[in-house]
Copies of this chain bind each other. A is one copy, B any other.
């Protein structure tokens, strides 16, 4: 499927969804919409991914079957400056894929245009109506379940789960990635947006995916969310920990991060604190252990210092660690499989 990715004024640094989709999805990305960087090429900013032109709006996109909203303002609202792009897309018969909290399918104008042009409006973050409470049966599946957990939000848990699942697949292992957030769901084409379900159903919405895939695969790499000590989002993290009943955890951290992103009053404690919290909280439901670490070294330019940071992180954890985007993954994979 040919897809245009909207990332106005934010590509690539503040366009986490756009970058995730470009890097990991099977979509053929034919253009990125960013009015500030129009005329450029994706590869100028993101080397090593399939290249595409950056254009100022949907009217400059030649081929597309869908428009994908690749950014989210704080609060997940719809920015009215994007309306012309969505209209243009629908008028030419493109589907629109969005992970915003604002549901495009409930916007009367978009709903009408979509119906008139026989297009789909896929609101990735709209939970299915039939989700319900956990039955406590995630532990009964055949697959080994490996969950990424974090010291904070935005440290790269989705990326780590995807990188490890793919590295396992390349070794011939029957592994699947279990998406729990909007970018992961867009990449895989299915999944429950756990941060958006009714709070009583948090664990249940994860469990349902584990149960659905758990007897088909040998390993499930579950995308974690937030951190267990997040002042706002810990409920989501806790529900995923108990709902997925992981056998092993990968503790993800961003090098140099010292306080919770956006909540600077709250410091990030030593990694040992996280190991104890995740393991102790999981144990009464299902025993697990932090078996590996992943360090996001994006902010360290040189490879030497980045490697040193990874070594130090592994030493603090007492288990193998890597930056799976930048360095080799075999040692970490062996600790998990």
Contact = CB atoms under 8 A, between A and B. Distances in A.
Interface of A: 75, 132-136, 194-204, 228-239, 241-243, 263, 265-267, 269, 273, 276-277, 280-281, 284-285
One complex includes copies of this chain to the number of 2
Contact of A236 (B229, B230, B235): B235
Contacts of A197: 198-199
B231 A235 contact: no
A326 B248 CA distance: 45
Contacts of A277: 280-281
A231 B242 contact: yes
A146 to B, nearest CB: 19
B194 A231 contact: no
Interface centre among A234, A236, A273 (most CB of B within 10 A): A234
B284 A235 contact: no
Given A136-B263, A199-B195, A239 B235 contact: yes
Given A199-B198, A203-B233, A284 B280 contact: no
Contacts of A133: 232-233
A229 B199 contact: no
Contacts of A236: 199-200, 202, 235
B132 A75 contact: yes
Given A136-B265, A285-B266, A233 B200 contact: yes
Most buried by B among A133, A135, A237: A133
A235 B280 contact: no
Given A136-B232, A195-B200, A202-B199, A280 B276 contact: yes
A53 B321 CA distance: 68
A229 B198 contact: no
A227 to B, nearest CB: 9
11 contacts: A75-B132, A135-B232, A194-B199, A195-B198, A196-B199, A197-B198, A203-B232, A228-B281, A229-B285, A235-B236, A269-B284
